[in-house]
Structure 1
Amino acid sequence: MQIEDYALLSDCRTAALVSKEGSIDWLCLPRLDSASVFGALLGTENSGCWSLRPADAAAVPTRRYDGDTFTLITRWETPTGVAEVRDWMPVIDSDEDRTDVVRQIRGVSGTVEFRQEVRLRFDYARALPWAHQTGVSGAPELATVAGPDAVVLRGGALRAHGHAHSGSVTVGAGEEAALTLTWHPSFRPAPAALDLAAAAALTRDWWHDWAARIDHHGHHGGHRHRDGIVRRSLLILRALTNRDTGGIAAAATTSLPEDFGGERNWDYRYVWLRDAALTLDALLEHGFTDAAGHWRDWLVRAVAGDPADVQIMYGLAGERDLVERTVPSLPGYEGSTPVRVGNGASDQYQADVIGEVLVTLAAARTVGLIESQRSWAVERALLGYAESQLDRPDNGLWEIRGEPQMFTHSRVMMWAAFDRGVEAVEQFGFHGPVERWRVARDRLRAEIDAHGVRNGYFVQHYGTDEVDASLLVIPQVGYCLPDDPRMLATVARIEQTLMHDGLLMRYRTTTGVDGLKGAEHPFLACSFWLVEQYAATGRIDEAQALMDRLCGFANDVGMLSEEYDPAAGRQVGNTPQAFSHLALVRAADALAAQRAQVR
């Protein structure tokens, strides 16, 4: 299966990926960053999967989401009849420690026989569970257990063959059948079966109530992207946000490759401060101030203690131990190894991160989020840490695994951090060493203007003539105007050296700073940044054409991964990628605003 062949199910605690052929090939339980139970996405069917599709090989599927939800409706047309499968994960408040996946079959016309096959493989396919039948006649149940995890399957009779279980269900017009999977801790009894009608109503209402709060006021609604993929992108950003902790994951998957068959395979199921802050920025622009408050509380908990110990990323509840390791039990997507769990970049110093966090929290203050003494104390501590690291080179936005550099984007984001600190004191009345922050801000500007610009354009890092797509962010944080001559020259240089088939690479991997073998594909967020830059400088038609092309890369249910291979015409990297979707939302807002100005 190609990456774009998958659709997302979410309960805002974990997520499942369902293929067009009706197989759940990725599911980690009970949390997004837990070990997989279904891991076929990164291996074979023996890595774990749950297939449900018509027995007739000629069946043709089409799919869509049920409105503003993550209930996936797959319609199967067969020679004998038509039926629909509704796949969803309940979003319900419960005192029980449980996670559920529901697969409901409904006959539309004629009769359709469905076959299901379940291969449960706990702990990234390293643990084959014990399984035994526990249900009574008429209400079959299959209970499985491996170490701390247990899963019970209900609703369809299953028989064992080898290390898989299979069964069949036939529905006629108007008939329904429901299959459910329930995870629970193995040391506790299995939870009772769900009241599916009540759970479905609660889940649908939960998603629709959230989507109904999407604010288009002031964003020039009604353009061609507003009511479709932008709305779905905001929903995806919500799906990646843990509803208990407020932690925002960068993606739902690990180790989907940036280079097919190569080593650029990373675990993105964690909370990058940068990505989470930028996601919040997109949500703030659409009225979700409460999301900023929830994440700010997460931030206060996660970075508690000595600011010198701040990490660039954490677990979904603020865990610090994200040691990167390989998982040989999963052979990798299309043989791309190694499969990684954890992320070694958590130990890197990335100077831009504090800037992104403070820029977003400043935006939250502007729209009315009330600052607490505790949260302001954390912001002050982060600024103090940035001040102590003022002369330290870093690994940059792209988590370069070569030698640290003075990356221009990082230096600009440090400037933005001190700028927002000064603003908090001068405009909002908070207390802090504003004179020191002002000196640091002004010093950084003088340094960037002197060393971050060569030949009239901004450069990737001091001492090079290379450019980097992250430079497109410079006007977004107010360092200069989009039509500053240096920015226009930077855009021209980026177009000249980083454009690949009309899309932007992050940087040239052959320049020596990358530190990894192999190449990669155009990074979608970078091209969305270019849309924003084009729009802001009057290149409206070019911005619209690029925006249309980028949105065309989304799959049939509106999902984007991290990168895109224009030669093969396929998505690349982890999916759905928060960075891609938040950049899409920003670009759509910027394009709509500029079009409104010229009307």
Structure 2
Amino acid sequence: MPNDTAQPTPFTRISTERHEGYIPIGNHAVIGDTSTVGLIAGDGSLDWLCMPQFDGDAIFAELLDRYRGGVCRVALAEPEEGERIISRRYRDRMPILETLHETPQGAIKVSDAMDLPVDGCLTRGHRVLRLIEVTDGEPEIDITVAPRPNFGAVLPHLRKDEDGLWYCDTANGEVLIETDLPLERTCGGTLRLRQKLEPKSFHYLVITYTENECGPMGEGAAWETLERVAHQWEEKLQDFDYDGPYGTYVERSLITLLLLTHADTGAVVAAPTVGLPETIGGIRNYDYRYCWLRDAAFVLNAFLDLGFTDEGTAFFRWLMEASRETAPQLGTFYDIRGRSGPDPEPLTAYEGYRGSGPVIRGNDAMDQLQLDVYGSMLYAAVCYVDNGGTLSDSECQLLQGFARVVRDQWTLPDNGLWEMPGSRRHHTYSKAMCWSALDCYVLLCERGIIEDNPEPFRQEANVIKRTVLEDAWNEERGAFMGAIGGDWLDAAVLLLPRIGIIAADDPRMVSTFEAITDELADGPYYRRYADGVDGLDGTEGTFVVCGFWAADYLARAGRCEDAARQIDGMIEGFNDLGLMAEEYDPATKQMLGNFPQGFSHAGMIAAASALRDALAKRDA
């Protein structure tokens, strides 16, 4: 039975309005088991769940197709008279979702979570717990369970055993549906229930994915598992170490990064979703369930800065192992097992979120040249060492290889941080990160961590720095351009002071910030670049992490009050649970792109930490 200890976090009423049949992207909560996550909409719909890993096949995907995607919905029936009210919260300091469903006939509280490994092992398979407590009256519950394995390509056959358990097969395992409520099979591979519940009663619904035989859980074990998972999250978050501003939001961003971490390998995926559009009805519908090296330094720094050295170490070790496949060259991203991403393929069964198709599994950025990733990897190594980590001989050899690639290839054009298709360019951010790669390598050599002569790399770094600060500067525009020889602005250039290639209060950087803000900002939100720069048709929303980069810049420039106002403005775009997507549309106040986005949450942590450090420096 549930723990009745009072929780201080208030419930927040949530809208269940749909647009063209779809719940808004930002309406979702996330739960997870450190192998994969589920997304639960405000109306009680578990409408995204891939099994058994982040990049596995979808079991439920109503998020991408309202007809064929599949869903597990737990809610109250719409009352004939009166209003149905839904409100929710996370239990404090943990990703356990509690949702109140209230009607004039009665109310229920649904607690949603995923089972966590014990001693590193999920002995009973991957499990979603949906536990129901009647808190008032005799409410009429409405449950739909419609699994659609293999990305909705086939309609599953649901079978029932002698114990009343329902099963359906997937490509590599089976889904077990267990409940104490009398679900009935309807047409089309769907289970339904609509009935009144007894006052003060407790019920459970457990969805299990397993590749081996797995017996029933039972109601008592389901509630006990929920409390054990709560205790595990409490223990995990005891390591949280942050004494700066925006602590609640920093902690929720950390929890989100932990949910995006694959515990078995240490990999951190960019996002757990596929094909959520950057503009409704557009073609920018990408698969982000992989590990982007461009994110590595931000994510690693977040873990280590907040005291999560185990996760930071595991992630750094994964980075080193994954990069061996292509070393000394680096790919743009790798899957959670450290392999190059799969070839893109369309998921033809899905219409896409609000008709935004095609939905593509995989990502064609895998074959691009992105030179900034070398800086991300070398910077991550220095960050790791600065926090007490040690490098093995083989890791030192890997880093030597990366440094030599940068020394030999930094003059090449590339696709840049934003993975622009078409002709390659001499992106300013890529050049600056090449400088960072060599600067970090020199530092590792000078400390005696890597045995090599640093002088040739120092000399090349100086050449790169002059190139960035002279050739990327446009006197007429009074700003550093997005690419050498280009005439467009890039919000990533706001990171130059963070990289260390120029001071934030340098007059050139001050005017660059003003130019980027004038052209790319919409209130506190920033676009990556102007429409048409990437050669793609259409537009996109503001890119969430860029707004945090603006705050990071302001903090480093000593403009602490402005940095705080910038972060305050960004927080207004969070959902009620403190979660962020990849992009945001200030006009409609809707989230766009994949959700939740690790880059956005790592950006929040970085901006708050930069402000913390700036305040400490100012007050010293």
- C-alpha distance in structure 2 between counterparts of 1:539 and 1:321, whole Å: 41
Structure 1, unaligned runs of 5 or more = none
1:244-255 matches, within 5 Å, as 244-255=264-275
Aligned match of 2:66 in 44, 59, 72?
44
Contact 1:459 1:467 in 2 (8 A): yes
1:27-66 matches, within 5 Å, as 27-57=49-79, 58-66=83-91
| Secondary structure of residue in 2 paired with 1:46 | coil
Contact 2:301 2:380 in 1 (8 A): yes
Give 2:462's aligned residue.
442
| Secondary structure of residue in 2 paired with 1:8 | strand
Report the alpha carbon displacement of residue 591 of structure 1 after superposing the two structures with TM: 2.2
User: What is the one-letter code of the residue matched to 1:100?
Assistant: R
Aligned match of 1:161 in 186, 191, 198?
186
| Secondary structure of residue in 2 paired with 1:40 | coil
1:337-486 matches, within 5 Å, as 337-455=357-475, 456-486=478-508
Report the alpha carbon displacement of residue 442 of structure 1 after superposing the two structures with TM: 1.4
Residue deviations 1:138-171 (CA, integer Å, cap 9, x gap)? xx21111133231010113221111111124644
1:12-91 matches, within 5 Å, as 12-57=34-79, 58-91=83-116
Aligned match of 1:99 in 126, 137, 144?
126
Give 1:150's aligned residue.
174
Contact 1:105 1:171 in 2 (8 A): no
Distance 1:118 1:526, change over 3 A: same
Aligned match of 2:295 in 272, 275, 282?
275
Contact 1:289 1:369 in 2 (8 A): no
| Secondary structure of residue in 2 paired with 1:320 | coil
User: What is the one-letter code of the residue matched to 2:176?
Assistant: V
User: What is the one-letter code of the residue matched to 2:241?
Assistant: D
> Structure 2-normalised TM-score?
0.91
Contact 1:249 1:276 in 2 (8 A): no
Aligned match of 1:518 in 525, 538, 547?
538
Give 2:239's aligned residue.
213
Deviates more, 1:464-473 or 1:163-172: 163-172
Contact 1:409 1:474 in 2 (8 A): yes
Distance 1:243 1:406, change over 3 A: same
Report the alpha carbon displacement of residue 113 of structure 1 after superposing the two structures with TM: 2.4
Residue deviations 1:415-465 (CA, integer Å, cap 9, x gap)? 000000000011244212422211221121122223111214311111123
User: What is the one-letter code of the residue matched to 1:311?
Assistant: G
Give 1:130's aligned residue.
157
Q: Does 1:551 align with 2:551?
A: no
Distance 1:534 1:342, change over 3 A: same
Contact 2:131 2:223 in 1 (8 A): no
User: What is the one-letter code of the residue matched to 1:37?
Assistant: I
Report the alpha carbon displacement of residue 558 of structure 1 after superposing the two structures with TM: 0.9
Give 1:588's aligned residue.
608
1:143-292 matches, within 5 Å, as 143-155=167-179, 156-163=181-188, 164-168=190-194, 170-185=196-211, 188-193=212-217, 195-216=221-242, 220-221=243-244, 223=245, 225-226=246-247, 228-292=248-312
| Secondary structure of residue in 2 paired with 1:207 | helix
The number of aligned residues is 586
Residue deviations 1:377-415 (CA, integer Å, cap 9, x gap)? 221122122223222110000111121111011000000
Contact 2:68 2:350 in 1 (8 A): no
- C-alpha distance in structure 2 between counterparts of 1:305 and 1:122, whole Å: 31
Deviates more, 1:331-340 or 1:423-432: 423-432
User: What is the one-letter code of the residue matched to 1:330?
Assistant: Y
User: What is the one-letter code of the residue matched to 2:38?
Assistant: A
User: What is the one-letter code of the residue matched to 1:110?
Assistant: G
Contact 2:370 2:419 in 1 (8 A): yes
Identity score, percent:
31
| Secondary structure of residue in 1 paired with 2:182 | coil
- C-alpha distance in structure 2 between counterparts of 1:308 and 1:585, whole Å: 31
Contact 2:328 2:398 in 1 (8 A): no
- C-alpha distance in structure 2 between counterparts of 1:361 and 1:409, whole Å: 19
- C-alpha distance in structure 2 between counterparts of 1:589 and 1:200, whole Å: 33
User: What is the one-letter code of the residue matched to 2:239?
Assistant: R
Give 2:595's aligned residue.
575
Report the alpha carbon displacement of residue 253 of structure 1 after superposing the two structures with TM: 0.8
- C-alpha distance in structure 2 between counterparts of 1:64 and 1:545, whole Å: 26
- C-alpha distance in structure 2 between counterparts of 1:300 and 1:515, whole Å: 34
Report the alpha carbon displacement of residue 69 of structure 1 after superposing the two structures with TM: 1.5
User: What is the one-letter code of the residue matched to 1:67?
Assistant: D
- C-alpha distance in structure 1 between counterparts of 2:388 and 2:609, whole Å: 21
- C-alpha distance in structure 2 between counterparts of 1:46 and 1:429, whole Å: 55
- C-alpha distance in structure 1 between counterparts of 2:500 and 2:38, whole Å: 39
Give 1:506's aligned residue.
528
Report the alpha carbon displacement of residue 502 of structure 1 after superposing the two structures with TM: 4.4
Report the alpha carbon displacement of residue 307 of structure 1 after superposing the two structures with TM: 1.8
Q: Does 1:294 align with 2:314?
A: yes
Report the alpha carbon displacement of residue 316 of structure 1 after superposing the two structures with TM: 0.9
User: What is the one-letter code of the residue matched to 1:49?
Assistant: V
Residue deviations 1:122-153 (CA, integer Å, cap 9, x gap)? 111002222111143xxx21111133231010
Distance 1:53 1:526, change over 3 A: same
Contact 1:142 1:158 in 2 (8 A): no
- C-alpha distance in structure 1 between counterparts of 2:496 and 2:331, whole Å: 23
Report the alpha carbon displacement of residue 501 of structure 1 after superposing the two structures with TM: 4.1
Report the alpha carbon displacement of residue 190 of structure 1 after superposing the two structures with TM: 3.1
User: What is the one-letter code of the residue matched to 1:232?
Assistant: R
Report the alpha carbon displacement of residue 596 of structure 1 after superposing the two structures with TM: 4.1
Distance 1:96 1:158, change over 3 A: same
User: What is the one-letter code of the residue matched to 1:262?
Assistant: G
Deviates more, 1:576-585 or 1:370-379: 370-379
Deviates more, 1:93-102 or 1:323-332: 93-102
Report the alpha carbon displacement of residue 5 of structure 1 after superposing the two structures with TM: 0.9
- C-alpha distance in structure 1 between counterparts of 2:441 and 2:582, whole Å: 32
User: How large is the RMSD of aligned CA atoms in angstroms?
Assistant: 1.7
- C-alpha distance in structure 1 between counterparts of 2:249 and 2:400, whole Å: 38
Residue deviations 1:262-297 (CA, integer Å, cap 9, x gap)? 001111110001213311111111112222221122
- C-alpha distance in structure 2 between counterparts of 1:442 and 1:472, whole Å: 21
> Structure 1-normalised TM-score?
0.94
Deviates more, 1:370-379 or 1:88-97: 88-97
User: What is the one-letter code of the residue matched to 2:201?
Assistant: E
Contact 2:141 2:195 in 1 (8 A): yes
User: What is the one-letter code of the residue matched to 1:211?
Assistant: L
| Secondary structure of residue in 1 paired with 2:421 | coil
Give 2:19's aligned residue.
none
User: What is the one-letter code of the residue matched to 2:451?
Assistant: H
- C-alpha distance in structure 1 between counterparts of 2:316 and 2:616, whole Å: 33
Contact 1:171 1:177 in 2 (8 A): no
Distance 1:321 1:563, change over 3 A: closer
Report the alpha carbon displacement of residue 338 of structure 1 after superposing the two structures with TM: 0.9
| Secondary structure of residue in 2 paired with 1:302 | helix
| Secondary structure of residue in 1 paired with 2:43 | coil
Contact 2:150 2:171 in 1 (8 A): no
Contact 1:307 1:385 in 2 (8 A): no
Residue deviations 1:80-114 (CA, integer Å, cap 9, x gap)? 22220001100023464721111100121222221
- C-alpha distance in structure 1 between counterparts of 2:471 and 2:145, whole Å: 59
Deviates more, 1:475-484 or 1:56-65: 56-65
